[in-house]
Structure 1
């Protein structure tokens, strides 16, 4: 495997002491590759809470220090951990329909949110194939709250979830691809060696909107997620019609 899928970058700063200490303290380097992947994946899914950081393009060490993240920032941390564990990985960039964030974004500012929101997942090379990892985004209490709020629903595109199998989504690492926001995807940018290369040309929420997001809106969103985590899932105006995405011709493909 070439160095492009194993090297550190400014964002994948796995040589930073906090990441090195984490890997050493957990004893992950003593595991098989399958178990290394599972250990890093479970850490990011379970111990890094679902939440909104100040920017998508944050170094992995900063995401670790924050202790929370969303698809893009949790993905950066997972990639850094995987490369620290000698697991080849790459970045796959997309956009998702804004409806996937409804219920997390406060209704007062929801109309101002971009129609298409930057999204990504992590791809790993494992046992001769590329697998797609996205199921780490929602921490278990948030997912359980959504399952409890919608016990008779399997298709959901809101509250940070985009899935057709809400009650039994493919989020656990079992040596196969995992997903939790896949059905919200509406555009594919393709694969990149690392998140640094993607964010050079794809950024969001600049200018006044960016300042408002960083200083006010994301904290409001994080407060709503905290309430979801203890079972208080907010109601979305418009009912059932706003729990599914606008139909798209986009189809995700198997990684090659």
Structure 2
């Protein structure tokens, strides 16, 4: 079990900013399940949905950015959970890029691989592993884009969301697994002890040129997401 509690280069919960956040919020004093709820709620709604420079950045950088997507939010979520003694692991997948249309547009959407590396955090609760994929999308963003989702394969996709029923999306912590992109999963990459190992093996940037082009565009992408969120 200790392997699900250890710090890593990416899960750098010993970083001063992360330690200070845990102390300020008093998360260590909560009951076990409440620690999960409070940290999940923080990462979901106080770290906005958006795009970081790459998938393999440390948790401290995600916190500093103030936004993240599936992979980077999972890193921050895991780091904070481990900081308060909650065992967690990461599960990797490939996901159809069509569900990103609307969040990604133009050249950035065209440059994205047809199958995107995707991950969610799994946390141990009551001798089971609970999926926290819902952490990706903040409520303010979901409220504005839910009506824009497109019907696809008997579900609804777009804007970083992929669900069976767009009218009944509930991403709040209930003590059970919560999903928001899983409807578009195409391949299972397996379970990893930490994101370092996952993103060492799988990465969404398959060329340096694409990485440079994406990073030239991502600030505009995030600004556009904020405009959607604030409508």
TM-score range, shorter chain: over 0.9
Pair 1:8–1:147, CA change in 2 (3 A):
same
Larger Rg: 1
- 2:150, 2:157 within 8 Å by CA — same for their partners in 1? no
**SS of the residue aligned with 2:169?**
coil
Q: Please, which moves more after superposition, 201-210 or 137-146?
A: 201-210
Unaligned runs of 5+ in 2: none
User: Tell me, what secondary structure is at the counterpart of 1:80?
Assistant: helix
Return 5+ residue gaps in structure 1 as ranges: 232-256
Q: How much has 1:112 moved relative to structure 2?
A: 2.5
Pairs aligned (count)? 229
What residue is the counterpart of 1:168 in the other structure? 168
Pick the structure with more helix per residue: 2
TM-score, normalised with respect to structure 2: 0.94
Contact 2:94 2:116 in 1 (8 A): yes
> Shift in Å at residue 170 of structure 1?
3.6
Give the TM-score, by structure 1 length. Answer: 0.85
Of 184-193 and 139-148, deviating more is: 139-148
When residues 8 and 108 of structure 1 are mapped into structure 2, their CA distance, relative to the original with a 3 A threshold, is closer
Runs of 4 or more off by more than 2 Å in structure 1?
Answer: 107-112, 147-155
1:234: which partner in 2? none
Query: Which residue in the other structure is 2:85 paired with?
Result: 86
Give distance in 1, aligned partners of 2:167 and 2:221.
24
- Give the corresponding residue for 1:141: 140
Q: Aligned partners of 2:150 and 2:108: how far apart in 1?
A: 28
Residue 191 in structure 1 maps to residue 201 in structure 2: no
Superposed, which structure 2 residues align to 1:1-256 within 5 Å? Answer: 2-149=1-148, 155-205=155-205, 206-214=207-215, 216-231=216-231
Q: Calculate the aligned-residue CA RMSD, in Å.
A: 1.8
C-alpha distance in structure 1 between counterparts of 2:197 and 2:150, whole Å: 41
Closer/same/farther in 2, CA of residues 24 and 105 from structure 1, 3 Å limit: same
